[in-house]
């Protein structure tokens, strides 16, 4: 009897390990083998503090199980002091931050194990506002006084969760899934040759070695800023945004509307700087079904784009 139980237990454990292994291989997760090393570190004596938010049900965080762990590794390799943001936003909290990074905040948590989404239900609306009005006011005041913000909100439901914060800086989030008809949209190419890269220090760098020639994004939403916002990644006029027919619903029918004109914007607000992106994978390195996508995929300048974003926000570009 003991032998039978031992065999049964061993079989169950083996099947569980196999299931977990297959899941980890197939599902979207950080690329732990990606090398973030640089030929030259920017900050060797001073180390600007970059805080990556994880206090607002963020789908992308900086921990080793988080999907923005590769971005955090890149920033550290360049000499930034990268910390996890575990608190809600207040003026006192923000005073110790040089660059605040918010990626895919949401109104409710999504069950994850080791950064992998599992097919479990979630309580609450992930598209509900992720930030209180007091937090938004604190952030707006902090940026106006010289703070730097990188706000990333991907395809639905993340645009809806961050739209009020983006609106505080004059940016509209379209809150759906952007595509370009008759063109591969995942990945979507923004390059000098297709005239979809804007003119800005983030694109131009500080010389030929740091200039960006092409960036690829992976679905995401579209954005539109006011006249004082610079378009970094420009969408063509025929871009289409697919939004949920029932607002706040994550599944169900999608209907097309005219998309915004950008997927990345940069703007100066008072004494501070803001970069807003409508897609998250462009700034990190992930794998899905064993294939790389993001900074780790071939033939793009996404890694340099990420560095230039950080350099502009830390005022050296």
Residue 74: phi, psi to the nearest 5? -65, -45
In 3-state terms, what secondary structure has residue 215? strand
- Confidence at residue 175, expressed as pLDDT on a 0 to 100 scale: 96
- Confidence at residue 67, expressed as pLDDT on a 0 to 100 scale: 95
64 neighbors 103 (Cβ within 8 angstroms): no
203 neighbors 191 (Cβ within 8 angstroms): no
- Confidence at residue 109, expressed as pLDDT on a 0 to 100 scale: 86
CATH code, 2-313 = 3.40.50.880
- Confidence at residue 6, expressed as pLDDT on a 0 to 100 scale: 55
Reading the block at residue 309, the tokens are 């974003």
List of residues 6+ apart from 290 with CB closer than 8 A = 25, 26
CA angle 92, 94, 97 (to 5 degrees): 130
- Confidence at residue 113, expressed as pLDDT on a 0 to 100 scale: 54
Each of the 317 residues of the chain gets a pLDDT tens digit; together they read: 555 655 545 444 444 443 343 344 447 899 999 999 999 999 999 999 999 999 999 999 999 989 999 999 999 999 999 999 999 999 999 999 999 999 999 999 876 555 555 545 566 789 999 999 999 999 999 999 999 999 999 999 999 999 999 999 999 999 999 999 999 889 999 999 999 999 999 999 999 999 999 999 999 999 999 999 999 999 999 999 999 887 656 677 899 999 999 999 999 999 999 999 999 999 999 999 889 999 999 999 999 999 999 999 999 99
Strands 116-117 and 112-113: antiparallel
Reading the block at residue 183, the tokens are 């063109």
């Amino acid at each position: 009897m003991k032998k039978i139980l031992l065999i049964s237990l061993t079989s169950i454990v083996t099947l569980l390990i196999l299931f977990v292994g297959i899941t980890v291989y197939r599902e979207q997760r950080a690329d732990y083998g990606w090398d973030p090393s640089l030929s030259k570190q920017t900050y060797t004596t001073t180390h600007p503090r970059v805080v990556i938010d994880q206090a607002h049900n963020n789908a992308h965080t900086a921990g080793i199980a988080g999907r923005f762990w590769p971005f955090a590794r890149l920033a550290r390799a360049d000499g930034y002091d990268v910390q996890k943001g575990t608190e809600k936003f207040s003026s006192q909290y923000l005073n110790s931050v040089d660059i605040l990074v918010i990626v895919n905040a949401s109104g409710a948590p999504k069950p994850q194990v080791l950064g992998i989404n599992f097919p479990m239900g979630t309580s609450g609306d992930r598209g509900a506002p992720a930030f209180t009005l007091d937090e938004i006011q604190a952030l707006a005041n902090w940026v106006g006084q010289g703070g730097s913000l990188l706000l990333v909100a991907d395809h639905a439901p993340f645009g809806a969760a961050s739209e009020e914060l983006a609106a505080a800086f004059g940016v509209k989030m379209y809150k759906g899934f952007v595509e370009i008809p008759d063109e591969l949209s995942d990945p979507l190419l923004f390059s000098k040759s297709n005239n979809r890269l804007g003119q800005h220090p983030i694109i131009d760098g500080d010389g030929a070695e740091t200039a960006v020639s092409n960036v690829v994004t992976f679905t995401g939403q579209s954005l539109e800023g006011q006249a004082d916002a610079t378009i970094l990644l420009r969408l063509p006029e025929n871009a289409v945004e697919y939004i949920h027919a029932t607002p706040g619903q994550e599944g169900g029918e999608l209907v097309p509307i005219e998309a915004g004109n950008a997927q990345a914007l940069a703007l100066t607000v008072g004494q501070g700087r803001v970069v807003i992106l409508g897609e998250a994978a462009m700034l990190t390195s992930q794998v899905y079904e064993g294939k790389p996508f993001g900074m780790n995929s071939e033939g793009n300048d996404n890694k340099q784009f990420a560095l230039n974003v950080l350099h502009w926000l830390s005022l050296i570009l």
